[in-house]
Amino acid sequence: MTTAALNSDSLSALASMLGDRYRIERELGRGGMGAVYLARDLRLDRLVAIKVLPAEYASQAALRERFIRETRTAAGFSHPNIVPVYAVEESDDILAYVMGFVEGETLAERVARLGPLPVRELVRILQDVAYALAYAHGRGVVHRDIKPENVMLERATGRALVMDFGISRSISQAAPVAAMTRVGEVVGTPEYMSPEQASGDQVDGRSDIYSLGLTAHYAATARVAMAAETTQKALVRQLTDEVPSVGEIRGDLPGSLQETIDHCVEKDPNDRFQTAEALVEALDSAQLAEPEIPLSIRLLAGELSILMMLIVVIAFVGWIFVRSSLQADMSLLDTMLIPVMLIAVLITRLMTSVTELRRISREGFASADIIAGLERVMDERAARRAELGAQPDVRERRRKVITIAVVLLVLSALMLWWALQMRVRISPTQYHVPVIAMVLIFTTAAAVGTSLVLLLKSPFRMPAGERLFRAVWLGAPGRALIRLAASGESTRRSNSVGTIRRQSNARIVAPKASKAESVVAQVQSEDERLQQIESRLSALERWREQRGNAQRE
């Protein structure tokens, strides 16, 4: 959509102010805090988002000056979980700022589309936003408007980014009470304001933690915890009403996550987490964020799944061939030729999988790490099915698919009956079938096959391949093979190196260590490296000295 297509006086004024630096593409959103447009930076040839603030900011000198000052501070931020601010654009009646464009959707849009978020995604978003707040608070800036609409979820990576730091404020400054009315929609949203912000008191980082707790409450329940009919009623609720416990609305959340969110929304700032770092540490200590599964183990899971499918196919083909050979009274040599070839293929394929297991073991993964990783791959699939089952639109699509499959089966039965009626018997065992009947018969076969797939392939039901994978590779046979392959490699490595590498890689599968433990481990590793370098240098000096003495002699 071009600038001319929008045909708006305000947009024309904005385009005139931007001149030849930016080209407006389309409107991204609009609310009480102003309008956001997608634009292209013509000098750097990149997409940006331009937020035009309400008229109060442009018309009042004090607000304009404070906004520019605070935006200058936010423009100095450089953090992977904060949408960067590039520039401020101003004229006599327009005030806007240019920020990075994030390809994705807001947390509010995600919840509106999918409903309450699963635990793993909720914890990851909570951590990302807390990291961003810790960074900002450490530089003396409080956001004052943390809410689902200001949390962007990047489509490519899934990370959460906080935006609108351009309307932040220094922690050392008090928020004016007068700013809590019309302009209050900019400096804070009543449904997510902390009590001290709603009352016009001085705010600090704990105010953002309260707002983040309400944001997490919404992401977990798809309900606004402190909703009200008017702005005034919402402010009164923030000052007087306790936030309902998230566990009362969504009982399947882990107890530690419920306590963390409830702790964020305490009315007294002294009763909340005192810093965003403390919130992150609470999430880490509760081990709510599952660690990422190593890529090697993910690839191994695919390798083993293919091997299981190959075993099933070879067993079926071999059985069919042997049965047909026996019925045809073929010789034993001819009968066993194809089965022996299939068995050789199977053994070779199995050995390649064992080689892959040994390679992963050489990387430092113990058999317990490999088995735990495979279990978590299967658990991820089960969690995904549960997540899809909780989405109304997915359930509705599934009902439509089942309806289509049933209709196809009914039509198939009718077409088959019609085709059979067209046959003409020419002998006790032979029929003449017209071309139209042949077409109906083949169409019936295709429709039946399609219907069976639609009925059996359900996003809510564990497929047969996964059941077989769990029974074999997560059962006694697979565990024994994995242990055998891993132990065979571990005997080839020295105990010291094996211990170090297993400990190093085990952290990828096990819950993350604390920051302090990571720092200590890093320092110890650096000390060991320095000691090795010093010992090598000493040995080299001794060798050079001995060589010099020998030459002098």
CB 225 within 8 A of CB 243: yes
SS3 content of the chain, % helix, strand, coil (to 5): 65, 10, 25
Q: The tokens of 422 are what?
A: 């067209």
C-alpha distances in angstroms, 106 versus 159, 193, 519?
Answer: 11, 19, 34
Query: Which sign does the torsion angle of CA 406, 411, 414, 416 carry?
Result: negative
97 strand-pairing partners: 51, 88
Query: Of 128, 145, 164, 369, which residue is the catalytic one?
Result: 145
394, with CB counted inside 10 A (0-12, 13-18, 19+), is middle
Q: Spell out a b/e string for 357-375, using b for 16 or more CB atoms within 10 Å of the CB, else e.
A: bbebbeebbbbebbbbbbe
Q: How many CB atoms lie within 10 A of CB 293?
A: 19
3-class SS of residue 52? strand
Which residues on neighbouring strands pair with residue 30, listed in sequence order? Answer: 35
369 is catalytic: no
Contact status, residue 283 vs residue 512, Cβ threshold 8 Å: no
Residue 432 host element (H or E): strand 430-432
Nearest residue to 190 (alpha-carbon basis) of 143, 235, 240, 223: 235
Q: Determine contact, residues 128/159, Cβ cutoff 8 Å.
A: yes
Residue 217: CB atoms within 10 Å:
24
Q: Which residues contact 79 (CB under 8 A, 6 or more apart)?
A: 131, 132, 135, 136
Q: In Å, how far are 295, 362, 472, 477 from 302, measured between CA atoms?
A: 11, 19, 14, 18
Give the residue among 32, 50, 64 at the shortest CA–CA distance from 97: 50
Q: Which long-range contacts (CB under 8 A, 24 or more apart) does 409-417 make?
A: 409/447, 409/448, 409/451, 411/447, 412/444, 412/447, 412/448, 412/451, 415/440, 415/441, 415/443, 415/444, 415/447, 416/440, 416/441, 416/444
* Burial (CB count within 10 angstroms: exposed 0-12, middle 13-18, buried 19+), residue 344: exposed
Neighbours of 404 (CB within 10 A): 14
Just list the catalytic residues: 145
